[in-house]
Structure 1
Amino acid sequence: MGFLADDAMEGREAGTRGYDIAANYVAAQYALLGVKPGAAGGSYLQRVPLLAFKNASEGSLVLTAADGTTTALKFGEDYLPNAQAQATEVSVSAPLVFVGYGISAPEKGRDDYAGVDVKGKIVVLLTGAPTSFQTEERAHYGNGTVKRLEAAKRGAVGVISMATTSSEKRRPLERGVAGYREWRMTWRNAEDVGFVRGVSSPTLASIGLKGAAKLFAGAPTSLDTVLAAAETPDGLIKGFDLAPKAAVSLKSEIEKRESSNVVGLIEGTDPKLKAQTVVLTAHLDHTGINENAKPGVDRINNGALDNASGIATLLEVARGFQNAKTKPKRSILLVAVTAEEKGLIGSEYFANNPTVAKADIAANVNLDMPVLLYPFTDVVAFGADRSTLGPAVAKAAGRVGIALSGDPLPEEGLFTRSDHYRFVEQGIPSVFLMTGFQNGGEKAFKDFLATHYHRPNDDLNQPIDYQAAARFALVNYEIARELTDAPERPVWKKGDFFGNQFAPAGHPSAAK
């Protein structure tokens, strides 16, 4: 942690010199531990070709009414443009159609697109998902990429995301103005093109309630009625065509960048099981340097707990296996991933381009931001109740005298918000592990979020409890040991939502 959170790493932002130094440090630690290179060509470094993109202008969004009159929406007041990864200039002119939350959930008997034709049109959809949905499923259906894929499947030519009353209250549109030109990232595919799911229906803009009022002028259902319905538990609103047409013009700046995941291999010893791999992940990157900080103020986001602590834990787990008299039966891949802070990009690249056969990846255990500031007595494994990983984690933690607790923050949908989720999307049973809320954990976690998270003072000046850190590493070692040596490969629970979504019948991890 001392090395990774040092100012010399300059905040470990993906695609920077500081990150590359940190990546080479982790590779050197693998080598010192006797961990074999796990990337192509006998290297520890899996090249991750990145594409950075940001808004180059305020863009324009102009509405044309049936009588030919035009209304230009106001940047920062009515709308914010969405940067595009595919082209520096994008212009879309099309009719508008409102599709409620834009959700199609067959298992719930729900289709917000029922009765509306969106082909060749720009869909306007509400941000988020209804409160009646189970929290993790709500996070899935509320995800912008999932919505864009649905719109693209139905032939829409663009998406405009519209605020609800509650989302506007939580985060007013105007607050997004300060960061509207921040760099975003994706990875480049084999054709050297930015990977964007649902690219034929790009997300063009976000509109607030003031902008929505202009879009809904002359609508068959009033905006007030729509917004009131959106706040009900089921949020059911029948879709309809909007009166105006829209012309959206966007300009983006696009740059190619390079980074790497750091991959180490501990080979299994069982003749039958060694082909299967348990992947342990932690993100190595952080948020870099605050360029707009005042002179004389600390500008470097050191990321000690987020996530130098996770990487340090990963290395200690490797040390545990290398020092153990009994070697693991299944193989282990240690993957320090890049660009988590940019949207889980390094893990997405690895999950789509693994250095072992994808079908042979049995499970993923992810470490992200363990708050090592108190003598924790429980851990939370997000997603543990969705697969047979749950009992394995509980058994392993119990060997160290640590309890396994349920999700203390269900409203946050954390199961979908860290690197393990990119493995879930490939059908691989996964859990995300963090220190629990017992024995002062809730206060420590919430205080950290309020005063240190993504700030320069997430550094080694915090009262880090290294005895607790050692115990957390031991818990993770025991979990990895349980998974590598279990006779049966982990599978999704029968009927689980994510198992059904991503690991249908015939998938190696499908429910038996």
Structure 2
Amino acid sequence: MNKLFYCFIIFPALLISGCQSSPETEEAAQSITEEKLLSHIEVISSDEFEGRATASEGEEKTVNYLVNELESLGVSPGMDNGSYVQEFPLLGQTVEPSSASYTLKQNGQVLNDLEFRADFVAWPANEAEQVDVNDAELLYVGYGIQAPEFDWDDYKDADIEGKVLVFKNSDPSYDENIFGGEGRLYYGRWSYKFEKAADMGALGAIIIHTTPTAGYGWNVVSNSWSGEQFYLKSEEGEAETMPDFNSWLTEPVSAELFEAAGLNLNEMLEAADDPEFQPVPLDGITVDVDLEANYSNMSSRNVLGEIKGNDPDLMDQYLIFTAHYDHLGITNPVEGDSINNGALDNAAGVSSLLNLAEAYKMVQPEMQRSALFLFVGAEEMGLLGSKYWAANPTVHPGNVTANFNLDGMQVYGQTEDVVLVGYGRNTITDVFEDYAQMGDRTIAPDPYPEQGYFYRSDHFALAQIGIPAVFPNPGQEYINKPDDWSETVDSLDTANYHSVNDEINELWDLSGMEQDVRLFFRTSFDILNRNEMMEWYSGDEFEAVREEMLEEAP
């Protein structure tokens, strides 16, 4: 335990021994206050910032604000060229609804001409402007998963080349010993299905939508995939390799499709849970797909600041904090309001990072490793800022001990618990539990593991390159609030999410946010100063890439 200063401190009226702290670190933790947390939220969620849409004047104002704040705190630029800004190119894609044609055929005869948005959504891949597919055969591949660690292969050496693959969404959940049980691994994400179709040489991909397997209704699919989509722009000649097209079909259309092939949709969905499942051709059924897409060029930016550690052997290793600063910008008016201010999502997370940076500057002399504060752009477009950083890291992933991702905070009061998305997947959990216990609090796992939240925020891109990551979420066991307060908060979050109503309101109580961010500071400061780096638990899906990155690290 060399290089660490151990002492007794007073920690919320509790005497604690053996913790890695000092009067200076506790003073830094106490410097994180409700008032300071609210101040940044008030600024960047104001109408002046126009909802912080990507590639907008609101983004420009937000980036300038972040750079100015980091400079005023004495936080150094995080780029090698002395800049705080990492710019990245984006490509916007819009499918022309009037020309989007999706025709199912049976033995060469039209079975169903589908309606865009109502029956299907589809888009060209690989930055293609047009898709023209005729009489493509369909092959149902169940979940479409290949997972050697679970001895699972849905393809069974089937002939995939030139076919359109039909997938059941999600992943098997009947056995807690595989695929995380009720939790959803990346294997269950729609993005995995599309990537796997490309790997297998498929011509196209279809995901069958059902509300239970998706976790949301068809309206979410239709709204999400029928407007402009955004991608990281590839270098010339290096477009992302995908099938010619990706698509979703509604459950009723899918049922009709299977029935025409002499199959029952529900029976086929159930059959996918069998490890011995064999791909099933939809005999006599083909699909014609015609799509046209227009593209627009734009760019967004990540903002990076770093606070350097002092240990000669550890200062080139980092703990990374992430929070996305973008939101939805200006949309159609609702009762005269058209600005999506994004106060909770994610001005609150941005403010937390700025307050953590200020606290870390207070204890910089005690820091052994370094801290990187990464404010990412274009999260609402598909985690694009974090994906870009992961593909172009400013720190080698093998030199990063952990990632704390803050996206949405506890703004409705203090809680006895903190939810940790990523609970039990890596050793960060252990440290969190120690510090929560010191404050008479508990760490709770994600209460909705079937929703796959671990794969839906910016930490996921860092996990994919091996970095142990966690995504703290608000607790649900409220202190000194009405008995139905949790239900009230849930209804508010549902009503306000991705709407013009995501604003500071009269029910906000940032004592809970103050409590949580202080916990994140104490926990992260311990992790940053430990001799050992954080690691994924044995058998985790990111363990192998972590080991690879550690070996490659300079």
TM-score w.r.t. length of structure 2: 0.83
Q: Residues of 2 paired with 1:129 and 1:5: CA distance? A: 37
Q: Residues of 1 paired with 2:324 and 2:158: CA distance? A: 42
Shift of the alpha carbon at 1:65?
3.6
**Aligned position for 1:138:** 184
Instruction: Give the one of 148, 151, 154 matched to 1:109.
Output: 151
Contact 2:423 2:446 in 1 (8 A): no
**Aligned position for 2:531:** 487
**Aligned position for 2:199:** 153
User: What letter corresponds to residue 156 of structure 1 in structure 2?
Assistant: A
Instruction: Say if 1:109 and 1:318 are closer, same or farther in 2 by CA, change over 3 A.
Output: same
Contact 2:121 2:222 in 1 (8 A): yes
| 1:417-428 mapped onto 2 (5 Å cutoff) | 417-428=456-467
**Aligned position for 1:187:** 232
User: What letter corresponds to residue 503 of structure 2 in structure 1?
Assistant: D
Q: Residues of 1 paired with 2:362 and 2:44: CA distance? A: 23
**Aligned position for 1:211:** 253
What is the number of equivalent residue pairs in this alignment? 499
Contact 2:410 2:510 in 1 (8 A): no
Greater mean alpha carbon deviation, residues 466-475 or residues 339-348: 466-475
**Aligned position for 1:498:** 542
* 1:369 and 2:411 correspond: no
Q: Residues of 2 paired with 1:82 and 1:90: CA distance? A: 8
User: What letter corresponds to residue 161 of structure 2 in structure 1?
Assistant: K
**Aligned position for 1:433:** 472
Contact 1:55 1:180 in 2 (8 A): no
Instruction: Give the one of 96, 115, 121 matched to 2:138.
Output: 96
Greater mean alpha carbon deviation, residues 478-487 or residues 161-170: 161-170
**Aligned position for 1:6:** 46
Instruction: Give the one of 306, 326, 331 matched to 1:265.
Output: 306
User: What letter corresponds to residue 397 of structure 2 in structure 1?
Assistant: K
User: What letter corresponds to residue 238 of structure 1 in structure 2?
Assistant: Q
Greater mean alpha carbon deviation, residues 73-82 or residues 20-29: 73-82
Instruction: Give the one of 171, 187, 207 matched to 1:129.
Output: 171
Contact 2:49 2:58 in 1 (8 A): yes
Q: Residues of 1 paired with 2:211 and 2:71: CA distance? A: 54
Instruction: Give the one of 97, 110, 118 matched to 2:160.
Output: 118
Deviations 1:363-413 (A, max 9, x none): 111001012111223222221311111112223344555432222222322
Contact 2:410 2:512 in 1 (8 A): no
| 1:143-292 mapped onto 2 (5 Å cutoff) | 143-164=189-210, 166-167=212-213, 171-172=217-218, 176-177=221-222, 180-191=225-236, 196=240, 199-216=241-258, 218-219=260-261, 221-229=263-271, 237-242=277-282, 243-291=284-332
User: What letter corresponds to residue 49 of structure 1 in structure 2?
Assistant: P
Instruction: Say if 1:400 and 1:274 are closer, same or farther in 2 by CA, change over 3 A.
Output: farther
Q: In structure 2, the residue corresponding to 1:100 is in which secondary structure?
A: coil
Contact 2:463 2:542 in 1 (8 A): yes
Q: Residues of 2 paired with 1:495 and 1:138: CA distance? A: 15
* 1:32 and 2:72 correspond: yes
Instruction: Say if 1:370 and 1:234 are closer, same or farther in 2 by CA, change over 3 A.
Output: farther
Instruction: Say if 1:227 and 1:415 are closer, same or farther in 2 by CA, change over 3 A.
Output: closer
**Aligned position for 1:45:** 85
User: What letter corresponds to residue 473 of structure 2 in structure 1?
Assistant: M
Q: In structure 2, the residue corresponding to 1:475 is in which secondary structure?
A: helix
**Aligned position for 1:458:** 502
Deviations 1:256-313 (A, max 9, x none): 111101100101111001111111001101111223x25x521111111111111111
Q: Which runs of 5+ in 2 are unaligned?
A: 1-40, 480-484
Contact 1:168 1:209 in 2 (8 A): no
Instruction: Say if 1:458 and 1:160 are closer, same or farther in 2 by CA, change over 3 A.
Output: same
**Aligned position for 1:305:** 344
Deviations 1:404-435 (A, max 9, x none): 22222223222221111111111110001122
Q: Residues of 2 paired with 1:304 and 1:238: CA distance? A: 48
* 1:340 and 2:409 correspond: no
Shift of the alpha carbon at 1:350?
0.7
* 1:390 and 2:390 correspond: no
Instruction: Give the one of 440, 444, 449 matched to 2:493.
Output: 449
Instruction: Say if 1:372 and 1:78 are closer, same or farther in 2 by CA, change over 3 A.
Output: closer
Q: Residues of 1 paired with 2:103 and 2:414: CA distance? A: 57
Instruction: Give the one of 58, 62, 69 matched to 1:18.
Output: 58
Q: Residues of 2 paired with 1:450 and 1:116: CA distance? A: 43
Q: Residues of 1 paired with 2:109 and 2:315: CA distance? A: 68
Q: Residues of 2 paired with 1:165 and 1:45: CA distance? A: 40
Greater mean alpha carbon deviation, residues 389-398 or residues 328-337: 389-398
Instruction: Say if 1:349 and 1:168 are closer, same or farther in 2 by CA, change over 3 A.
Output: closer
Q: Which runs of 5+ in 1 are unaligned?
A: none
Q: In structure 2, the residue corresponding to 1:408 is in which secondary structure?
A: coil
Q: In structure 2, the residue corresponding to 1:305 is in which secondary structure?
A: helix
Instruction: Say if 1:385 and 1:445 are closer, same or farther in 2 by CA, change over 3 A.
Output: farther
What CA RMSD, in Å, does the superposition of the two structures yield over aligned residues? 2.6
Deviations 1:51-104 (A, max 9, x none): 1212222511223443x3234522144322235461221222322211112112
Deviations 1:469-494 (A, max 9, x none): 32222122112211110110111112
User: What letter corresponds to residue 200 of structure 2 in structure 1?
Assistant: R
**Aligned position for 2:18:** none
Q: Residues of 2 paired with 1:33 and 1:333: CA distance? A: 14
Contact 2:183 2:449 in 1 (8 A): no
Q: In structure 1, the residue corresponding to 2:278 is in which secondary structure?
A: coil
Instruction: Give the one of 349, 366, 371 matched to 1:327.
Output: 366
Q: Residues of 2 paired with 1:326 and 1:484: CA distance? A: 13
Contact 2:131 2:245 in 1 (8 A): no
Contact 1:321 1:327 in 2 (8 A): no
Greater mean alpha carbon deviation, residues 333-342 or residues 237-246: 237-246
Q: In structure 2, the residue corresponding to 1:87 is in which secondary structure?
A: coil
Contact 2:194 2:246 in 1 (8 A): no
